[in-house]
Amino acid sequence: MWGKDVLPCSIFPMLNRRRFLQAGSLVAVSGGSTRVLSAAAVKVASPLQQLLRQPDLVRVQVKDEKTFVGLEKSGNRWTTAGLELGIADHADAVDITLHAPQMPVQRIHLRWQGKISEEVKVLGDAWERSYGDLAWLPLQPERVLPWYLLASHGGVTAGVGVKTGCSALAFWQVDSEGISLWLDVRNGGNGVVLTDRVVALASVVVLAPTQQSPWNATKSLCRKLAAGIEIPTQRGHYALDVLYGSNDWYYAYGKNTADGILRDADLMREIAPSRGATPFCIIDDGYQDATRFPSLHQLAEDIHQRGVAPGIWIRPLQAKSGTREEWLLPAKHWRQSTRDLAYDPTVPEAREQVLHVVKQARDWGFDFLKHDFTTYELLGGWGKDFGSSPTREGWSFHDRSRTNAEIIRELYQDIRETADDERIILGCNTIGHLSVGIFDASRTGDDTSGRDWERTRRMGVNTLAFRLPQDRVFYRTDADCVPFTPDIPWQQTEAWLHAVAASGSILLVSPDPRSIDARAKSAIREAFALAGQKPQAEPTDWTDSRTPFHWKNNGAATTYPWLENAGASPFQA
């Protein structure tokens, strides 16, 4: 075990020594500049082996979570009968490929041994949305860290992750003896049947130990994970650098009307900066009732006529009762008993139905498409319950030849192609790591609330703080709406509004007409103006709190009153 003076460059004792040692000093490269770390860090780094090297152990699961087959190493190939794993270690990445013509593989476990300081704090990402659970925490050997991890201590931070757009559902573990990477390559809950296909599963990259703040280090790692992927800055008439507007869900909860939507559009036009970005007015669930929404095509046009951009929520994978059973995912794929039905997108006829929903929204004239529930319906549950297994065992898609990650990413690509390149697409309940370069925006956390402030504090503040480093790197991030309703105290509404605006991320309000008075209008107007300046506030206490109170923006410090007078609720929110 390392002593307490160890800096967290020791978190990755396998980091390539020659990349960071120059003239006897430890050098971290960040954003084109170099920074020399302390002499203590040099002592830690001197014995380090490479992280970007062959692992010390590789094994695969082919039957269940308890049954492993060890692989034998020969150069950069790891093999057993019917399976070959290629691990190409380069100077800047480790590329992993799988060829398994005779073996239905479920998971691959790679392990790099090496002593790691127990003094570090560790941060990971989330499978899809976060659920108030992101945090910098001490080493926990069993902790599942989807996609990437960072470790920080004593002013130094390092990181490792798999690049976006991979073909496996990947997570990390870290403990005092080393680091593990797990690649879930299942099809549904069974082993994938690749036949003779060679699949590029993942590319591992590292962030060298750096004296950047943990915040900036996280952004730097995210940039490395998305390197080489073009992130659009414009869709149709709309620049993506400033996105604000309204969404009716948190005051209407499905009881919306066309007249109410037009009232929201009028409000957006009234309070949005006259020379700023065009505001959006997004219609959420409930519009399927033809008595309340007689013509969605006309409604989209009416919103346009007000100088506001129309948006709409869709749930493309949801199937109706009576749908042909062979088009559906099996009932046993659901984690809990439900009457929900979901299309299997690997069935061509079912895929047509899924994409028809996208095409219909496009043809109605909506410029902003928010699609929802895809992870829940594809994998049968919510990300908060995934742990080390994003879906239940014992079921398969109709097409068993592709991994879950491949199926999900191909569906995302089809949604983008169907929507066309003119539409802004926001994914909600989507796997962000697989949507980079495809979708323009991501709802990064579970729902806020227009009824219970405690839920917004837990879910909204947490995801705003911890996934904001992905904003403008992976896509535009959306921490969810700011509800203006009678049930939420003004002090907390105002604070949440300002925090989202100052973050520079997507800002959507849910304006209950009962709560939209002169004070509310003034606050939203100021928030939209602030968002239009593209600020980049960041939390300063996020390594110590799941819901950071203290933030800074251009040197100005702000403390937000997230707690009500009675404190936080101990009950489920």
Same-domain pairing of 217 and 150:
yes
Least confident of 47-61, 496-510, 528-542: 47-61
Give residue 50's pLDDT band: very low, low, confident or very high (50, 70, 90).
low
Whether 271 maps to a domain, the answer reads: yes
Same-domain pairing of 388 and 290:
yes
Same-domain pairing of 468 and 553:
yes
Whether 9 maps to a domain, the answer reads: no
Buried b (16+ CB within 10 A) or exposed e, 9-36: bbbbbbbbeebbeeeeebbbebeeeeee
The CATH number given to whatever domain includes residue 457 is 3.20.20.70
- Which domain, by its residues, includes 318? 234-559
Same-domain pairing of 219 and 243:
no
Whether 4 maps to a domain, the answer reads: no
| Domain stop point among 170, 202, 225 | 225
More confident residue, 167 or 36: 167
Interval 279-329: pLDDT, tens:
999 999 999 999 999 999 999 999 999 999 999 999 999 999 999 999 999
Same-domain pairing of 163 and 246:
no
Helix runs in 295-385, H state only: 296-305, 348-364, 374-379
Whether 14 maps to a domain, the answer reads: no
pLDDT value for 158: 93
| Domain stop point among 201, 225, 249 | 225
Counted domains in the chain: 2
Run of H or E including 245: strand 244-247
| Domain stop point among 225, 245, 277 | 225
Same-domain pairing of 169 and 256:
no
CB 405 within 8 A of CB 433: no
Same-domain pairing of 431 and 316:
yes
Whether 194 maps to a domain, the answer reads: yes
Whether 13 maps to a domain, the answer reads: no
Whether 155 maps to a domain, the answer reads: yes
Give the mean pLDDT of the chain: 92
Same-domain pairing of 93 and 174:
yes
Same-domain pairing of 221 and 279:
no
Q: Does position 38 have pLDDT exceeding 60, yes or no?
A: no
pLDDT value for 64: 78
Single out the residue of 486, 465, 390, 394 nearest to residue 429, CA to CA: 390
State which amino acid sits at residue 194: L
CB 524 within 8 A of CB 539: no
More confident residue, 122 or 230: 122
Same-domain pairing of 60 and 98:
yes
Same-domain pairing of 289 and 151:
no
Q: Does position 26 have pLDDT exceeding 50, yes or no?
A: no
Whether 567 maps to a domain, the answer reads: no
How far apart (Å, rounded) are the C-alpha atoms in residues 189 and 404? Answer: 9
How far apart (Å, rounded) are the C-alpha atoms in residues 4 and 66? Answer: 36
Same-domain pairing of 212 and 127:
yes
